[in-house]
Amino acid sequence: MSSARAVSFENRDRYIEIGLNIAYYRKKMGMNQEQLAEKACMSRSHLGAIEAPNIIRTFSLELLLDIANVLQIEPSKLLEHRA
């Protein structure tokens, strides 16, 4: 098992929550996955995997910051637990 997979497994719930937060704020901005992916310079399939609660997809802090910039929110919003 690669270290990236081990890290993603250890932080599984956090990655799922971040993905759900991205989807929440993306929809709040009225954007679809294709629009956000294009503006954040990533593929739609990668974004789809990040947002999918049944897939654990690791990604860089740089990408998290890019997504937050496009969504016009503080990056911390993507890391927060939303009830």
The pair phi, psi for residue 25, each rounded to 5°, is -70, -30
Written as one string, the DSSP assignment of the chain is: --HHHHHHHHTHHHHHHHHHHHHHHHHHTT--HHHHHHHTTS-HHHHHHHH-TT------HHHHHHHHHHHTS-HHHHHSPP-
If you average pLDDT over residues 1-27, what whole number do you get?
Answer: 79
Report residue 35 as tokens: 């629009």
Whole-prediction pTM value?
0.86
Render pLDDT for 25-82 as a digit per residue (tens, 0 to 9).
999 999 999 999 999 999 999 999 999 999 888 899 999 999 999 999 999 999 998 7
